[in-house]
Amino acid sequence: MIQNQQAMILSPYMALYDMVVPKDNILRKINELVDFSFVYEELESKYCLDNGRAAISPVRMFKYLMLKAIYDLSDVDIVERSKYDMSFKYFLDMAPEDPVIEPSSLTKFRKLRLQDVNLLDLLIEKTVGIAIENGIIKSKSIIVDSTHTKARYNQKTPREVLLDYSKNLRKAVYRIDESLKSIMPAKVNNGVLEDEIEYCKKLIKAVRADEVLSNYPDVKEKINILEETIEDDLEKLALSKDEDAKIGHKTYDTSFFGYKTHIAMTEERIITAATVTSGEKHDGKQLQELVEKSEAAGIEVENIIGDAAYSEKENLEYAKKENINLIAKLSKTVSHGNKRESHDFEYNKDADMYVCKAGHMSIKKTSTRPKKHAKDGQGTVESYFFDVEKCKHCPYKEGCYKDDAKTKSYSVSIKTNTHQEHIDFQESEYFKEKSKERYKIEAKNSELKHRHGYDVASSSGLVGMELQGAVTIFAVNMKRIITLLG
């Protein structure tokens, strides 16, 4: 049961917050800037209003998720820290003496309360609204790009995940005292998952036996992460199946297994829109949705700044129709005319190759041109060849690959004169000057990954990835707004 209104905090110790939480503390500033009642309004329908035990406020539960995104900690560690960190308790609207939640409550909140909620658009629009209200956003340009996130489960076997976490725990212990190697249980190397689980349990028990050692913050965090993996995630790890994640390619010879988050951001570095897709999706196909979401959030778009992945023909036509300048250099391979069944093959601008529906990248490219077009460059046909051995066993081979065929290729026609208008625009000083702003989104992608744990998915599936993206982008945007407000 959820309460109809937030209860007043009546505690004789509330004045402690004024003494120990500085005025410039980031969590204090976020509390002052954001009216979190929108979370209650959005999730009210997920609770019973007149029956059952009183539920923890959805606003407080959401704030716990925000703290996880800001500080990149496990459920156990974020709850543990909220016991003694007064800035956390202040942010969570708790009295200093209030007890904290059980860590498992966060898992239930994510699974039961946040399903079927478009939290990604809601949270981004909220932060963009705050930025506009405070006069932060002045530019009329959005910078677009995508960042990849590795899937949590399929990139490694369950045993490999446990090996990594147990190794991190041992390293944390040895940094304190190398002589403690003697108390560690013997490692197992037989490749059996069950034996690795047993070893991890023995390792935790051995470390916990030393009360002083196990209470070092670094050691404690590593124990909690390993325990969380064993207790909460092992069933899913054993299945090792993330149906939504797909193989994406960063360059010709580097790939990843997971997801892409496609982002639009203003020149002030406020993220205005995002979409989450599986890893193989082409960046350029998300452009129109990013523009529409940015406009819905209140952004006036006059310029779109991006790399060559966004210069495909459909986007050039869309930008012209909407009277928007597309600041993206042309790539002849992505700017060809229409191709039958082209939706099954998408161009990867980093590798300069095509990727099929199954996520397999072409291995060779050839180019031919009729003699009559030797001078004007028109009529060029580029053919992309795929690994036939992979095609033979591909689940999508019907209608794509003929049995016993020795080659499989996909061809596109290059029509350079079709894009002469954009070629001329590329040479203008305005285009060159605006192109210099693109570096900002690379820095934003790095911030998401390296400071907020966005390099690896925290759960499986697109729904889990969207939730992670929503909370992380909300936290990153709020930090940026606070920085710009000084």
Residue 242 — pLDDT band, cuts 50, 70, 90? low
Least confident of 162-166, 449-453, 468-472: 162-166
Q: Which residues pair with 259 in a beta bridge?
A: 149, 278
Q: What is the pLDDT of residues 121-150, one digit of tens each?
A: 999 999 999 999 999 999 999 999 999 998
- Is-contact 334 312, C-beta < 8 A? yes
Per-residue pLDDT, averaged over 306-310, amounts to: 91
The neighbour count for residue 448, using CB atoms within 10 Å, is: 23
User: Residue 337 has what pLDDT?
Assistant: 47
The answer, yes or no, to whether residue 246 has pLDDT greater than 90, is no
pLDDT mean across residues, the chain: 85
Mean pLDDT of 322-343: 68
State both tokens at 136. Answer: 């932060």
Q: What percent of the chain has pLDDT over 70?
A: 87
This prediction's pTM: 0.72
Residue 204 predicted with pLDDT over 70: yes
* Model pLDDT, residue 17: 92
The residue type at 103: P
HSE-up of residue 83 (Cα within 13 Å, Cβ side): 9
Average pLDDT (267-279) is 95
Per residue, the 3-state secondary structure of the chain, as one string, reads CCCCCCCCCCCCCCCHHHHHCCCCCHHHHHHHHCCCHHHHHHHHHHCCCCCCCCCCCHHHHHHHHHHHHHHCCCHHHHHHHHHHCHHHHHHCCCCCCCCCCCCHHHHHHHHHHCCCCCHHHHHHHHHHHHHHHCCCCCCCEEEEEEEEEECCCCCCCHHHHHHHHHHHHHHHHHHHCHHHHHHCCCCCCCCCHHHHHHHHHHHHHHHHCCHHHHCCHHHHHHHHHHHHHHHHHHHHHHHCCCCCCEEEEEECCEEEEEEEEEEEEECCCCEEEEEEEECCCCHHHHHHHHHHHHHHCCCCCCEEECCHHHCCHHHHHHHHHCCCEEECCCCCCCCCCCCCCHHHEEEECCCCEEEECCCCECCEEEEECCHHHCCCCCCEEEEEEECHHHHHCCCCCCCCCCCCCCCEEEEEEECHHHHHHHHHHHCCHHHHHHHHHHHHHHHHHHHHHHHHCCCECCCCHHHHHHHHHHHHHHHHHHHHHHHHHC
Q: How confident is the model at residue 336 (pLDDT cuts 50, 70, 90)?
A: very low
Residue 371 confidence (pLDDT): 57
Q: What is the pLDDT of residue 56?
A: 87
User: What are the tokens at 142?
Assistant: 């959005």
Within 13 Å and on the Cβ side, how many CA atoms surround 54?
7
pLDDT of residue 335: 44
Show Cβ contacts of residue 323 under 8 Å, excluding neighbours closer than 6 positions. Answer: none
Q: What is the pLDDT of residue 259?
A: 92
pLDDT tens column, 66-89: 999 999 888 899 999 999 999 999
Q: Express as a percent the part of the chain with pLDDT over 90.
A: 47
Residue 239 has pLDDT above 60, yes or no: no
pLDDT at 411: 84
Q: pLDDT band for 349, please (50, 70, 90 cuts).
A: confident
User: Comparing 237-246, 294-303, 459-468, which segment has the lowest mean pLDDT?
Assistant: 237-246
With CA atoms as reference, report the closest residue to 314 among 281, 330, 337.
Answer: 337
d(CA 13, CA 20) in angstroms, rounded, equals 12
Query: Is 180 in contact with 213 (CB distance < 8 Å)?
Result: yes
- Confidence label for 310 from pLDDT (cuts 50, 70 and 90): very high
| Least confident window among 22-26, 231-235, 323-327 | 231-235
Residue 250 has pLDDT above 80, yes or no: no
* Each residue's pLDDT tens digit, 357-413: 888 889 998 887 665 555 545 566 888 999 998 898 888 888 888 888 989 998 877
Q: CA-based angle 58:61:65, to the nearest 5? A: 135
> Is the model more confident about 239 or about 130?
130
